[in-house]
Amino acid sequence: MTSTGQDSARRAPLDRLLGRAEYQVARRVEAVVAADGLTVDQWRVLDLLSGGAGLTMTGIAAAVGVPGPTLTKLVDRLVDTARVYRLADTRDRRRVLVFLSDDGRAVHTRLSPAVRDVETELLGAIGAHAPTLLELLDLLTPDD
């Protein structure tokens, strides 16, 4: 599929297309995680922490794409529900790391297959172009 100048003039701007796509994905994922009292941003924090390593608030904020004050509220709620916990970094006591708790890991393990099913279904809608889309999105969102 090629895009001429005329085609791109009719297409919505990139920010609107990405925003609408993110809204659709988030809405579908939130429908899955809401049963456990999570928002999609809280799910993103749990999913990020599921790798096992503790992460700084700055690192989480950058990876999840929320401002620091918003992340603080998200993490506070996850701490209140015992899904994550904070510890001082042993290498630098001024830094605080956030970790997934045992309960948080159980929630992540239980919800992950349903979230993956949502992602598989959404990517299936674009068929053979799905790997290309994911590669291009990776190019737009390099790790910091």
pLDDT in tens, 32-68: 999 999 999 999 999 999 988 899 999 999 999 999 9
Provide the β-strand partners of residue 96: 88
* pLDDT, averaged across the chain: 90
List, in sequence order, every beta strand (DSSP E) within the chain. Answer: 55-56, 84-88, 96-100
89: left (phi over 0), alpha (psi -120 to 50) or beta: beta
Q: What is the pTM of this model?
A: 0.85
Q: Greater confidence, 2 or 63?
A: 63
- CB atoms < 10 A from the CB of 42, how many? 23
**Cα(47)–Cα(42) distance, integer angstroms:** 9
